[in-house]
Structure 1
Amino acid sequence: MNAVPSLTEMLQQLIATPSISSTLDELDTSNLAVIEKLEGWLDGLGFHTEVLPVEGHPGKANLIATLGSGSGGLVLSGHTDTVPFDAGRWNHDPFKLTEHDQRFYGLGSCDMKGFFALAIEAARQFVGQPLQQPLIILATADEETSMSGARALALAGKPKARRAVIGEPTGLKPVYLHKGMMMERVRLTGRAGHSSNPALGNNAMEAMHRLIAELLQFRQELQLQYQNDAFEVAVPTLNLGCIHGGDNPNRICGHCEMDFDLRPLPGMELEAIRDQIKHRLAPIAADLGVKFEAESLFSGIPAFNNQPDSELVRLAEKLTGKPAETVAFGTEAPFMQQLGMDTIVLGPGSIDQAHQPDEFLAFDQIQPTVELLQQLIIDSCLSPQPAVQEEPRA
């Protein structure tokens, strides 16, 4: 069995191991080195470990590490990848754990490699104890881009447990609700020609102007139809993000494409929204004589919607002394819900530090997190719990 380092040494090694997830091939890296470290440490504590390569994503894998047995228990889940970074904007080495001003600086310190070190530190106390239900530490791949790791787990139907805590940075406030996320692209192809005579072409940019107006009308209708006052922004949002078209001022624009994102509320189905968009935009493009194409830049994240009075939400509120709340960012929580688990998002650090230069984890979050996770483990794993019922598969 491998020796398990101290909490600080775990943080140092995790931060020093690149695992960037990016849609750009030149920036994207494997997460296997992080998975191997975590597997070695958890094996050293007596966990049964299973590394699951993510099909279709070479160099990417998930890790399921289980202490104890049974079908109930608790999953402590995090993602092993980080976003890319701009070294010129950092005051510290992104891959070196730096202690300064009562903070640990480093890429992934907050989002969210730090959570693994804290979860393992919390788990040490229970090694050798007679767990009534299993403790599972779950490490996933590519959360920052495609969420391919969590999707693969949901498809495989594992792991199974009664409860799941996603350790994203929430300032140790329990989160029971977040919006979904879609990133979509519309592409129009017209006909280029000399700008001195509009009849020589068909302007794709002008056609896109009409489609944008229709999208904004669709946004207004969605916001009238759907509201949820639990969110700071109570309506679904649709943001026109970027547009590209044409090649010269004196040529009729022959092609134009636009990317936008949409943040649906719980109860809004992603595929239904995509169908609505196509059904509204395609006829306009056809009337204007331009070729219409629509694609999703990734499969999207469903909205996460637990009940505010669920067993785990109430327990987290009791242990933290803070009411459960909502957040605007997306997580892997919906995929844990698909596996039948009572799920919350709850972790150290602030989302304000995530994806930022000089990302950090404050010292005053560390011990409270370890103690909170230990209390969750005691309640979920040391006390007999009803077994998880297998859901019949369609």
Structure 2
Amino acid sequence: MSLNLKRYTDHLRQLVAEPSVSCAVPRWDMSNQRVVELLANWLTELGFTAEVLPVPEHPGKFNMLATLGSGDGGLVFAGHSDTVPYDEQRWQSNPFSLTERDGRLFGLGATDMKGFFPAVLEAIRDIDKGKLQQPVIVLATADEESSMSGARHLVATGGLKARYAVVGEPTSLQPIHMHKGILMESIRVVGAAGHSSNPALGNSALEAMHEVMGELMSYRTELQERFCNPGFSVAIPTLNLGCIHGGDGANRICGECELHFDLRSTPGMHNDELREQISRRLSPLAERRKVDIVFSTLFEGVDPFYQDTDSDLVKACERLTGQTPASVGFATEAPFYREMGMQTVVMGPGSIDQAHQSNEYIAIDQLQPAVNSFKGLIETLCMADS
């Protein structure tokens, strides 16, 4: 099929024009309602049954779920409807007004990942819907760029049943079959302040934190000895001590100290287990030093993602794109679809190199191959004559 570039561009222009920033900082955070309503309307026009579903406990946040056809299998085209914040001063054009130049479409979210949805619409438009034997499902989630509340809600409610899922993050159409997980944590040590002239007058949280950091680095070494995946450019799990704050003066014993760190895990590791192992490791230190160690989660985290390269979905993507499966270092919503029992791949138009950047763009020459690949997946996985 031949891409209708004008129609694609018109759809993307409308999506970009609706701000949908997702951010943990309240002054930046926005609703995504208008974006998912546009998608629901367009999909309804194509014969889908579409629902806009509020995400509980997240006012102004919505998922959109649209289904065409029926059956006990089905293929999900999944993407997020939000964007990261932006610095308008660094943009050469209005981030909310799609601008075409030099074979590229510029706009906030153009590649990450509003540009995915119009490509799916184009692929669906040209199929023979009477030949569908399994449903085609389009999903747009809320808050992927911050809390991933939309995908988490789907898992919690068991609200999505299908056999396959394509997460349309920008991968230059290379099928991604695994990525690392991530957790971000805070450790706060509470000791007792006192005059620095006499150590007995207090209990240094900073000195206790020194031992905490040593335990974390020792734990990191153990993880890296146990887990190694050569499919990643950085084959081992990483643990980064990101920032530390404590004390209020050179002549005072430090009463409180807080450390933030992140841990990037490889397939086979699980965030809840990692948190429990760290807590168990630090408990004896707290007892011995007579301090309180308080854990809190900065970001709920995403488990690692892995899909076997011999799976039907990955093989189909490999055949349709001519690209071999690979890994990436960034996290996506893919583990949630795996948790719901679907074969999953991360694959979409655009490059991650343009994501989260000023003057974000999607290259026009990525669009036709994306439409062809998505249509091919529907024909292969959902249609009678596949």
TM bracket (short chain): over 0.9
* SS, match of residue 94 in structure 1: coil
- 1:110 corresponds to: 111
Cα RMSD of the aligned pairs, angstroms, is 1.5
Contact 2:171–2:346 under 8 Å retained in 1: yes
Q: Give 1:169 shift.
A: 0.7
- 1:206 corresponds to: 207
- 1:373 corresponds to: 374
* SS, match of residue 319 in structure 1: helix
In structure 1, what is the Cα distance between the partners aligned to 2:384 and 2:144? Answer: 32
Structure 1 gaps of 5+ residues are 386-394
| Counterparts of residues 267-306 of structure 1 (less than 5 Å) | 267-306=268-307
| Counterparts of residues 178-217 of structure 1 (less than 5 Å) | 178-217=179-218
The code of the aligned residue for 2:287 comes to A
Aligned residues: 381
The code of the aligned residue for 2:315 comes to R
- 1:335 corresponds to: 336
Question: TM-score if structure 2 supplies the norm length?
Answer: 0.95
The code of the aligned residue for 1:100 comes to R
- 2:139 corresponds to: 138
In structure 1, what is the Cα distance between the partners aligned to 2:198 and 2:235? Answer: 48
The code of the aligned residue for 1:374 comes to K
* SS, match of residue 263 in structure 1: strand
* SS, match of residue 236 in structure 2: coil
Q: What CA deviation, in whole Å up to 9, does each residue of 1:37-80 have, x standing for no partner?
A: 11111111111012221111111111110111112221111000
- 1:27 corresponds to: 28
Q: What CA deviation, in whole Å up to 9, does each residue of 1:75-129 have, x standing for no partner?
A: 1110001111122222222111111221111111111011011111211112654
* SS, match of residue 126 in structure 1: coil
In structure 2, what is the Cα distance between the partners aligned to 1:8 and 1:346? Answer: 20
Contact 1:286–1:292 under 8 Å retained in 2: no
Q: 1:384 to 1:128 in 2, by over 3 A?
A: closer
Q: Give 1:232 shift.
A: 1.1
In structure 2, what is the Cα distance between the partners aligned to 1:32 and 1:355? Answer: 21
Q: Give 1:338 shift.
A: 1.7
**1:165 equivalent in alignment to 2:194:** no
* SS, match of residue 352 in structure 1: helix
The code of the aligned residue for 1:197 comes to N
* SS, match of residue 284 in structure 1: helix
* SS, match of residue 133 in structure 1: coil
In structure 2, what is the Cα distance between the partners aligned to 1:304 and 1:240? Answer: 23
Q: Give 1:166 shift.
A: 0.4
Q: What CA deviation, in whole Å up to 9, does each residue of 1:195-251 have, x standing for no partner?
A: 333333222122111110110000000000111111111111101111111223332
| Counterparts of residues 246-265 of structure 1 (less than 5 Å) | 246-265=247-266
In structure 1, what is the Cα distance between the partners aligned to 2:187 and 2:91? Answer: 35
